[in-house]
Amino acid sequence: MDTIYITGHRNPDTDSIVSAMAYAALKNALGQRQYEAARLGQISDETQTVLDRFGFQPPKLLNNVRTQVRDLDYDTPPTLSAAAAISRAWRTMQKNKISAIPVANEDGTLYGMLSAGDVANYDMSSVRNPNVGRIPVYNLLSVLEGKILNQGGEMRDEISGEVTIALPASRENLMFSSPDSIVVCGDQPDMIRRALEIGVACIIVCQAEVDPELLATQTDTCIISTAFDAYRAVRLIYHAMPISSICKNSDLVCFHLDDYIDDVRNAVLESRFRAYPILDEEEHVVGTLSRYHLLRPRRKQVILMDHNEKAQSVPGLDQADILEIIDHHRLADIQTKNPITVRNEPVGSTTTIVAGMYQDKGLMPTAKMAGLMAAAIVSDTVMFKSPTCTQRDIDVANRMARIANISLKELGQVIFSAAGGGTRSAEEIFRTDYKEFHIAGHNLAVSQVTCMDSDKLLQRKDEFLKLMTSIRKEKGFDMVIMMVTDVLLEGTQLLFVGDRETIRQAFNVEDVEDVVFLPKIMSRKKQVIPMLSALWG
């Protein structure tokens, strides 16, 4: 069952993280176990404090949702040992109707690839070159369905030599004269005696008994009996060779489960193999990939929480299937291939919407989850002082607090005290809740930090302005803004780089410097972005 990722926006705030976690818990509690909350960035100090307070671990970090090899319906053929006989490999390919098979070392790592073409080439070359080298006796006995007849033969582990069929003829006309021979014969005592005198490597007796006197001869020649006729026995001797002797084990093109399909396609176009081995994180063989697997790859599935803008979403979104959007922001530029469920409501916190979905399904969250949800609502509504806050947010937060048996006032103090910055760098603080916007041909970025002591953060104003100037230059933004929202002052210290006149007109302030205090301005979504949109629109 494929995982469905529930993800908030980049540079996630507490509401983004918690709403994804709460919705995943709701979905899984209803019997759909494939849902997993994910995050697109580092956890802020505030969010980590909340998670620690209620005993939760941060969601999985998701770097992108580009289609990977693991998303393909690749083949999982049997993987044979390099020591297996060629005959076994051929039977395996015929049984599974495949033209190539991976060959593995004893520890499961890749040794090579064996194709039907490799077997055919070897089979044809054996006609001109009758020599075989180092056939394991185990392999030979297996393919011939034979048994060793003499004591000396039991001492051999490998057989090498030139394969010769001893046709009925006089001893003087024997085609073999070297000890490096594998003699195939029938009921021919003279042939067997001569072969023993020469000391050939192996005698294979087809469909016949051997004189006990000959078997008692002191020799290291291995005498094997088989029920096959001479022709089949000869062909099977060649097929007893280990597949390591003919498979391709150099200049292999292989892929890993985490490789991206775009990169795989390019590599496949530059090569001409029938199948490519697939390896896992430990380099173990897990399957094979062919060109046709790339035609219709399975796409990752995602649910977007607390955002609906592509620039704020997970990288590679165009290669994924969006199943749902749950948000409380303006509708933006996300496009989908099919109709989906969209729940967009004018409330102060996405978690408030998720709490309503718990109610719709008749499921009450656990005390720990309720506490987490209460904290997210308090955070996103700035202790209910944000203009985005609604009575519904307040009612839901109070209900969650009662379930968790906590005080919202004390929770708010814990949350906003954690947002003071601590020992973090200016960039870490700035990117804690950072979003990019595209409005009427203007590009800008707005960061927001909510705290209870804005003066402490403003002591680092020069660091922030230097960083913002660098970001503006690097990305070509018209403006970069940092909102230092103070809960106690019920307003925002606005730092900016860009056109001063824009700030003056948008917020109706005089004597604009690098920082200006905006009383009662608490919300980026409802007070800052709309002001700029109205000015530029």
Average pLDDT per consecutive 10 residues, the chain (537 residues; last block may be shorter): 91 95 96 92 90 96 93 92 91 91 93 92 85 88 91 87 77 64 89 88 91 88 92 90 91 93 91 91 94 88 94 92 94 89 96 97 96 96 92 97 95 80 81 88 92 89 94 94 92 92 89 86 91 87
pLDDT value for 333: 86
Angle at 401 between CA 396 and CA 405, to 5 degrees: 155
DSSP codes, 280-298: -TTSBEEEEE-GGGGTSPP
The neighbouring-strand residues paired with 446 are: 435, 481
pLDDT value for 295: 85
pLDDT value for 168: 66
H or E element: which one contains 490? none
The neighbouring-strand residues paired with 103 are: 80, 112
- The tokens for 345 are 């409501």
CA distances from 346 to 130, 327, 389, 483 (A): 83, 9, 9, 22
Q: Can you tell me the distance from the alpha carbon of 315 to that of 405, in angstroms, rounded to the nearest whole number?
A: 39
pLDDT value for 123: 86
pLDDT value for 175: 60
pLDDT value for 419: 62
Using alpha carbons, select from 38, 85, 83 the residue that is nearest to residue 62. 38
Predicted TM-score (pTM) of this structure: 0.70
pLDDT value for 122: 87
Rounded to 10 degrees, what is the CA torsion of 200, 206, 209, 214? 0
Cβ pair 474, 439 in contact under 8 A = no
Residue 202 identity: C
pLDDT value for 173: 47
Rounded to 10 degrees, what is the CA torsion of 126, 129, 134, 136? 30
pLDDT value for 169: 57
Q: Can you tell me the distance from the alpha carbon of 298 to that of 74, in angstroms, rounded to the nearest whole number?
A: 11
